[in-house]
Amino acid sequence: MRCYACGNELTGRDYCTACGADVAMYKKIRYLSNRLYNEGLDKARVRDLSGAILSLKQSLRLYKGNIDARNLLGLIYYETGEVVAALTQWVISKNFREEKNLAGDLLGTVQRDPQRLETLGRTAKKYNLALNYARQESYDLAIIQLKRILQLNPGFLRARELLALLHLRAGDFERARLECNRCLRIDSGSTLAKRYLKEAQSALLPTERDRGRRRMGSDAVRYQSGNEMIIQPARTGFSGGAVSLGTALLGIGLGIAIAWFLILPTRVTRVQEAAKQEITAVNEESDAKTAQMRNLEQQILTMEEQIRTMEGERDASSGEEGSLSVEALMNAAAAYLKDPEDLDTVRKYMADVDKNAPELENNEGASTLYGDLQSLVGKDLAEMFAKEGADAYRDGDDEKAIPALMRASELDPEDGESLFLLAQAYYRSGRTEDARTAFNRVVSDFPDSGHREEAQNLLAEINNAGT
């Protein structure tokens, strides 16, 4: 400490040993200034920046040359986003003492990052703009501007306090509370932030008296949280016994719930699995039986078809054909009785008469009628059939020749010529067995016939072809 009058270093005495000036009061003021600096330093260490600023300002008011106090004040201003105020303090400090001054380092640090300095300068301008918006009642614009500022400089305490105030005004208490808490993280001694926080909290959490009053009106407590209306069910009082009973019931309920959700599902799953297996087995059995039934139904259908076919064949071979032969014989007999000279009509009916048809053979009357008719007109009819058959055979029409020659041979069993032609027609049309039978009859029944040798040759030919 130097003398204010001559600048000499002071000793422990109350006057200057060089010039004799009274320094007792001066020393006290300097001590007090240092003491306030220490107090400010302590407050700054616990982030009570507002308190620290107050102490440091008082310290400087007592002694403006307290370099440490001025430097610390600048540092605190810088921390709260007040860059110009910080620079001011550091420049003044530097002017007080050029050498060995921390202010020089601090100024150097700031000047080495001009971009940062420019950004911080811009935030100051924007803050002033936001403040103007707020004063002109353009609150939304002010909020938007402040949010941008805080993105650039999150530690700008005044901007954050103003934002909290604007949120409070807008009724957005939750955001106001949030901003206040952030302010208090920067400066734990911020009176504004504390006041705004109290206001926000009182809005968010209604007092006990308010709760009681609101409960009287309804069974629910309602209060505003930001833009949201919180509706909380009102509590009702329970006695100790009721609480115990409720707890016991709750325990039982929980036990049932555990059994329901943990044990029962396992058992249900097991039962379901067993049922599924049983259903699968039954389905398999059912499928097998269904297949068996379908097979049997198919067999029934096949057999029914066979029966129908056989019935058809039976009817075709015996019934209809037989009855047809009998009917044709009766018609032939009727035609003869009507006009014995009209042999053409008789021949026409007799062409449909099969002598070997079962109906005809088994019918005694029909057989007698056939015999009588044969004895009366057999020869004449045989000649007509023989001629018709021979003509057809020569024309190569075996389909027409065979029935005609067959009737000729039946009506006149001694007609070897017609039999031989019949055998040849059979042979030519590919009916080998019938041809063989006919040729054998020619050979056996007509040994003196001129066709015997030829019939034997053709029989040999058939036999060779057969082997």
Partner 1 sequence: MINFEEELKKFYPSLELEEAQEAIAGQDLSDVTDILVAMLAEGNDPGSNPRSRRVRR
Decide if residue 134 touches partner 1 (CB under 8 A): yes
Least separation in angstroms between residue 197's CB and partner 1 is 11
Decide if residue 162 touches partner 1 (CB under 8 A): yes
Give 228's DSSP letter: E
Closer residue to partner 1 in complex, CB, 65/104 = 65
Using CA atoms, how far apart are residues 234 and 214, in angstroms rounded to an integer? Answer: 9
Burial of 284 (0-12, 13-18, 19+ CB in 10 A): exposed
x/- binding map, residues 198-217, to partner 1, per CB under 8 A?
Answer: -x------------------
Residue numbers 136-155 binding partner 1 by CB under 8 A: none
Using CA atoms, how far apart are residues 49 and 190, in angstroms rounded to an integer? Answer: 8
Any idea how long the chain is?
A: 467
Phi/psi at 225 (nearest 5 deg)?
Answer: -125, 100
Closer residue to partner 1 in complex, CB, 190/374 = 190
Least separation in angstroms between residue 234's CB and partner 1 is 26
Out of 48, 161, 415, 417, name the contact with partner 1 by CB under 8 A. Answer: 161
Out of 84, 263, 274, 307, name the contact with partner 1 by CB under 8 A. Answer: 84
415: Cβ contacts below 8 Å, ≥ 6 apart = 382, 386, 408, 409
Find the helix or strand (DSSP H, E) in which 70 lies.
helix 67-79
Contact in structure between 104 and 181 (CB atoms under 8 Å):
no
What SS3 class is residue 446?
A: coil
Decide if residue 131 touches partner 1 (CB under 8 A): yes
Using CA atoms, how far apart are residues 277 and 271, in angstroms rounded to an integer? Answer: 10
Decide if residue 417 touches partner 1 (CB under 8 A): no
Out of 5, 41, 234, 324, name the contact with partner 1 by CB under 8 A. Answer: 5
Neighbours of 373 (CB within 10 A): 20
Decide if residue 345 touches partner 1 (CB under 8 A): no
x/- binding map, residues 37-76, to partner 1, per CB under 8 A?
Answer: -----------------------xxxxxx-----------
Neighbours of 226 (CB within 10 A): 19
Q: Contact residues for partner 1 (CB under 8 A)?
A: 4-5, 21-22, 25-26, 29-30, 60-65, 82-85, 87-88, 91-92, 117-118, 121, 124-125, 127-128, 131, 134-135, 158, 161-162, 165, 168-169, 192, 195-196, 199
